[in-house]
Structure 1
Amino acid sequence: MNTVTRPRILVVGAGFAGVECVRRLERKLAPGEADVTLVTPFAYQLYLPLLPQVASGVLTPQSIALSLRRSKKYRTRIIPGGAIGVDLKAKVCVVRTITDQIVNEPYDYIVLAPGSITRTFDIPGLTDHAFGMKTLAEAAYIRDHVISQLDLADASQDPAERASRLQFVVVGGGYAGTETAACLQRLTHAAVKRYPRLDPSLIKWHLIDIAPKLMPELGDKLGRAAQEVLRRRGIDISLGVSIEKAAAEEVTFTDGRVVPTRTLIWTAGVVASPLIATLGAETVKGRLAVTAEMCLPGHDGVFALGDSAAVPDLAKGQEGAVCPPTAQHAMRQGRHVAENIIATLHNQPMRPYVHKDLGLVVDLGGTDAVSKPLGIELHGLPAQAVARGYHWSALRTGVAKARVMTNWMLNAIAGDDFVRTGFQARKPAKLKDFEYTDAYLTPEQVRERIEGSGRAQL
């Protein structure tokens, strides 16, 4: 008896790109037309741009973790784990589940959207003593950590210990670093009023970046406006400076300064997921080189997008230009890849991806923001309205929109309670503990595993 096997579509990653791809496939494909599988450690999509507001307590963690199982057309099989290798020839993805079981997942079409990880350098002590800002767990942990520094400083009788606990260093003058420093500074500024034994002048925030400008993508005018806001709040901004080494109780800058601190937050850029290196394919600055249709040349049924793919930016009209790793591109690329897969299944031609950047928004907390929608430069309250309006409209579900709006209103009216949740209270965790960068296989290990599995089945 002949059996017809449905095409197997495997989507790797539940970020903006992966989730938008899955949602479009669920809406456009009939239930019996293909089997869709998603590989992700968590059954939610994280709205990453609002992560600094979770760290500062403006938003609750649940409000920006959008459940993947709320869709009315939900029928995607979810594998709870992370892809650690792909054999393009055998068409098999190697997955490490959340219980550390390693399984082989075959596919006919694969969508590689594993996102990015925090970019680090060979700086002594960095991965052992720095926090990142890429996951929901990190944001929740940092909030607990910052509040605990105030608690411990208030209880300490040692002036040196108190000074080190009340200094905070953020490395990275991009959007993530600037928003993190701005939001957390507002948290400590408001919280210190509840600590009568602490001198508010002892609380110092440092924002440093090796680049000569803060958020250069915004342009000189808005970049200066953001700097003025931060400096008015008392944040010390040092440009052209980075970290020389990090220790448990101090950080040494490249200009020779030694800052006593127990809090180093590292947001100095991102790099493509280590999964990309397991493919042995051509890359552009670490991102997978793909066509304008987001296909991997020479490999049928392989698509890549988002932070891990160098997607040609046809809207710019410049040779070699690639789309920046932003949420607005990832969301649109996800939908576009789904349409191209559907076109392939229906024997129709694929279309190239073209999208003109809509602009940038940076929320500095309170009524402070800088935005550049459609090239129009805004700052202050109008920019804040644009920034929060954009984020609110981009949230995928009505439940998430309701939670975020409620959190914003409640925080504006009642302020923060400065409560620690006790998240991993007695188990210190730093940047290296959250992103599992040592879990990936080499291309040789992937091939060896796939070939070994094939021999075992004979």
Structure 2
Amino acid sequence: MTTRPRILVVGAGFAGVQCVRRLERKLAPGEADISLVTPFSYQLYLPLLPQVASGILTPQSVAVSLRRSKKHRTRIIPGGAIGVDAKAKVCVIRKITGETVNEPYDYILLSPGSITRTFDIPGLLDNARGMKTLAEAAYVRDHVISQLDLADASQDEAEIASRLQFVVVGGGYAGTETAACLQRLTTSALKRYPRLDPKLIKWHLIDIAPKLMPELGDKLGRSALEILRRRGIEVSLGVSIAKAGPEEVTFTDGRVLPCRTLIWTAGVAASPLVATLGSETIKGRLAVNADMTVPRLDGVFALGDAAAVPDLAKGEEGAVCPPTAQHAMRQGKTIADNILASLRGRPLEPYHHRDLGLVVDLGGKDAVSKPLGIELRGLPAQAVARGYHWSALRTNVAKTRVLTNWMLNAVAGDDFVRTGFQSRNPATLRDFEYSDAYLTADQIREHTAGLIAEG
């Protein structure tokens, strides 16, 4: 009695979903079984999260259903992978119910994504908010609007000052777009809060790096910096957080700022899942071959944020692809083709893709973009940025929702409604990062011992 090969995909980000969709289209009926491990039955379009936080887009717009597919035949396992036993070819999964199960595989594609990168800063986990998940974006929006409501109702000048100062840490795309979009939201809100002094609302964007978004190049980076400062955002470079409290933030340059809103977007780290394999890593990401196979581990592929995929387009020794959505989607296609090649006895192909450019949406008519090396600013850059994001959305339903939201926001402006999500939940980094949920090597062997004995 023979069984079909089992393909297990871990993670429903850009890489994982692109791989699954290609496999569904190209696998012959009965050729293999596909399973996808993800806690949510949607793919999150992460680059548009700042627009969710600022209310330009609704949360549903960027949550693209995994079940909207004409050829949907993938078994979705609602949970997260917490360990991999490559020798036994078993993935340990914790379902959303808390139940732990073993999932055997013949091929496993590891695309678990990343977690927020934090440092040993006193008070950070308990007082900072992240922008990595859909829930966090919704909580951030609720929190910012609640600060306006509470400041408007307060008679205490010190409380008002602390509630109307906002700090975003991280001068990359996520941090810059978050600060820009939310600053635009609070500026638009002023006409609805006539008791608030506009001069008291202050946004701060800080980053330890000497330049803002260095990937854009000097000219566009300076343009983005000028746009932010022209809009009243105070940008401090070469600075980070020394200590975070519930009502104040201490910067590394000694400044102490009364502040009740600290948004942390200072980079990401590969999912802790990669450490459970005991394989070689490069800056925390799994070292893989050019065809995205993990050396010395049979049937294991890795891609996306969790893998250091060699960047053959650069032609530099040791160069790896940046953890961007653009690379993740194309890696997903290549790895699906390599799985098919392996099943059919054909050679595997290396991943090779030249970066097509960068887009940064700063809200309103402000944007900077660099498609194919061409530097754009203002409305042309905004058109390119939104056009790229719109075209990258996977379903027509998602495209329609996003386009409708953009048009409605342009015509009707912003709404300042709190949904009530954060009424009783602080929703800080500690509440969303579960880095202690993963198994040790001994725990993984204990979980899979029964399957090895049966085999």
TM-score by length of 2: 0.99
Partner in structure 1 of residue 326 of structure 2: 328
The separation in 2 between residues aligned to 1:299 and 1:429, in whole angstroms, is 38
The residue aligned with 1:62 is 60
Specify the code of the residue in structure 2 equivalent to 1:122.
D
Kindly provide the amino acid, as one letter, of the partner of residue 400 in structure 1: A
Gap runs ≥5 in structure 2: none
The match for 1:240 is 238
Aligned pairs for 1:256-335 within 5 A: 256-335=254-333
Letter of the structure 2 residue corresponding to residue 17 of structure 1: A
Aligned to 1:343: 341
- 1:375 aligned partner: 373
Aligned pair count reads 455
Compute the displacement of 1:448 (Å).
Answer: 2.2
Partner of 2:406: 408
Is the partner of 2:168 in helix, strand or coil? strand
Match of 1:22 among 20, 23, 35: 20
One-letter code of the match for 1:255? Answer: D
* Paired AA for residue 418 in structure 1: F
Q: Distance in 2 between the 1:25 and 1:34 partners?
A: 9
Cα distance in 2 between the residues matched to 1:420 and 1:411: 17
Q: Measure, in 2, the Cα distance between the counterparts of 1:250 and 1:446.
A: 42
Specify the SS of the correspondent of 1:225.
helix
Q: C-alpha displacement at 1:421, in angstroms?
A: 0.7
Q: CA offsets per residue over residues 128-161 of structure 1, 9 Å max, x none?
A: 1100110000000100000000000011111101
| Structure-to-structure mapping, 1:28-427, within 5 angstroms | 28-427=26-425
SS at match of 1:244: strand
Distance 1:305 1:213 in 2: 29
Q: CA deviation at 1:454?
A: 5.0
C-alpha distance in 1 between matches for 2:444 and 2:168: 37
CA offsets 1:15-58 (integer angstroms, 9 cap, x no match): 00000000000000023110000000000000000000000000
What letter matches 1:145 in structure 2? Answer: H
| Residue in structure 1 matched with residue 6 of structure 2 by the alignment | 8
Distance 2:225 2:252 in 1: 21
Q: Distance in 2 between matches of 1:289 and 1:454?
A: 27
2:2 and 2:442 map into 1 onto residues whose CA distance is 33
SS in 1 for 2:335: helix
Aligned-partner residue type, residue 365 of structure 2:
T
Counterpart-to-counterpart distance in 1, 2:425 and 2:315: 51
CA displacement 1:409-453 (0-9 Å, x = unmatched)? 000000011111111312212012113222111122211221256
Work out the CA distance in 2 between the residues paired with 1:124 and 1:443: 30
- 3-state SS of paired residue (1:42): coil
Contact 2:88–2:452 (CA under 8 A) maintained in structure 1: no
Residue 426 of structure 2 corresponds to which residue in structure 1?
Answer: 428
Residues 226 and 370, structure 1, Cα contact 8 Å, conserved in 2: yes
The answer on whether the counterparts of 1:66 and 1:400 sit within 8 Å (CA) in structure 2 is: yes
Moved more, 15-24 or 420-429: 420-429
In 2, the alpha carbon distance for the partners of 1:268 and 1:183 equals 17
Paired letter, 1:246: A
Q: Deviations over 1:320-371 (max 9, x none)?
A: 0000000000000001100000001010111000000000000000010000
RMSD of the TM alignment (CA)?
Answer: 1.0
User: What amino acid maps onto 2:246 in structure 1?
Assistant: A
Tell me how far apart the structure 2 counterparts of residues 133 and 108 of structure 1 sit (CA, whole Å): 35
Counterpart amino acid of residue 263 in structure 2: I
Task: Calculate percent identity across the aligned residue pairs.
Answer: 81
Three-state SS of the structure 2 residue aligned to 1:121 is coil
Q: d(CA) in 2 for partners of 1:155 and 1:255?
A: 33
Q: Which AA in structure 2 matches 1:319?
A: E
- For residue 290 of structure 2, give the secondary structure of its aligned residue in structure 1: coil
Matches of 1:250 and 1:418 in 2, distance apart? Answer: 25
- Note if contact 1:277-1:443 (Cα within 8 Å) is conserved in structure 2: no
Matched residues in 2 for 1:449 and 1:80: separation?
Answer: 19
**Deviations 1:104-144 (CA, angstroms, capped at 9, x unpaired):** 10000000000001100000010111001100000001000
Partner of 2:443: 445
CA distance in 2, matches of 1:223, 1:454: 55
Distance 1:234 1:352 in 2: 47
Q: What amino acid is aligned across from residue 95 of structure 1 in structure 2?
A: I
